[in-house]
Structure 1
Amino acid sequence: MSINLSKGQRIDLTKTNPGLKRAIIGLGWDTNRYDGGADFDLDASAFLANENGKVINDIDFIFYNNLKHASGGVEHTGDNRTGDGDGDDEQIIIDFQKLPSHVHKIGIAVTIHDADSRSQNFGQVSNAFVRVVNEENTIEILRFDLGEDFSVETAVVICELYKHNGDWKFNAIGSGFSGGLAALCRNYGLEV
């Protein structure tokens, strides 16, 4: 049975689910209809960070232009440019056994592509969620619904998976940023 988390809650992933080897991080959202004239294109990304929370190499940033980490530990399944339909709009698959040893945290974020030029922000996004699914048996382990707490933000760190005493845990973050993808990259130590 899936567990629904609130912002700030943390939960064990691999310790309480010892068979969890590959997890699907499913992300979904809807956009509110408005007269802006441009479609929304939301993009999921993963920042593979060290124990200090910083990405030490550009190849440790997984997004629509770098879909698969060289280790095979993280793979983005592809960019959904519209977000139409039910269920997951984008997915990131994590293979815990293949993650490089320097990776202690994986930040999962969603940004709005060209948000400033299109006058778009997360105040116009609704029903945003992240869920973690065991790929082997397709059972949903947990779900975090973001709520409607955003206004001018153009990027959101949805959650972080982090290593603690050799096990992986999930942290429901839901923290917004102005400045889009560039602001997120700087937050995780990448040069923009």
Structure 2
Amino acid sequence: MASLISGANAALTVENPGLDHVVVGMNWESIPSNGPRAEFVPFAVMCGADGRAVSNDHLVFFNQLLSSDAALAFVGDEDQEQIDVELSRVPTEISKIVFFVYVDPEVRGKGTFASVRNSHIRVSTATRKELVRFDLPAGKQESVTAMIFGELYRHRTDWKFRALGQGYTTGLTGVAKDYGISL
């Protein structure tokens, strides 16, 4: 298992010949609160060569648990959220799959990542053998309302993983604008 730092990448299919199915797990720990707590929502976007969502059918989130091509699906409970990715089913026009978490302002009011102390994203085989892990750096996140954890991306005919940890102060709206998602 490789542990990555922000901006680093790992060659998944080159280092694991025959790999065509991975599970991307995201986890976070929040400081317990007696008052309202932020509601964190995971999301995955399948992007074309322009870096934007191919369509709103190429997303997975709580209201759409399976992508239109069945390549991505929410599964399991080993992490707080797990997304199953069948690499062989990902359409060829998809150049990357971005995994992020946003704070839902409609559930418990405006919240941020300030209460998050430990968070990570990991990529495992279908049999749950961990291939790579990225522990997001702790820092001042009082104004962060969405966080890109990482991305799977094509490099020629192979798949790689990139650790990101990029925060947004504009929440889901900012992510939607950058990735061309209709809300």
TM-score for both structures, normalised by structure 1:
0.88
Question: Aligned partners of 1:163, 1:183: CA distance in 2, in Å?
Answer: 24
Question: Aligned partners of 2:63, 2:93: CA distance in 1, in Å?
Answer: 22
Q: Percent identity?
A: 29
Q: Which residue of 2 aligns with 1:62?
A: 60
Structure 1 residues 1-192: aligned runs within 5 Å? 2-35=1-34, 37-77=35-75, 87-114=78-105, 118-135=109-126, 137-149=127-139, 150-192=141-183
- Structure 1 residues without counterparts, runs of 5 or longer: 81-86
Question: Aligned partners of 2:107, 2:125: CA distance in 1, in Å?
Answer: 36
The Cα offsets for residues 124-182 of structure 1, whole Å up to 9 and x where unpaired, read as 111100011101x3210011000212231010010011101110111101000012212
Report if the CA contact (8 A) 1:58-1:190 is conserved: yes
TM-score for both structures, normalised by structure 2:
0.92
The Cα shift of 1:185 comes to: 1.2
Question: Aligned partners of 1:175, 1:115: CA distance in 2, in Å?
Answer: 23
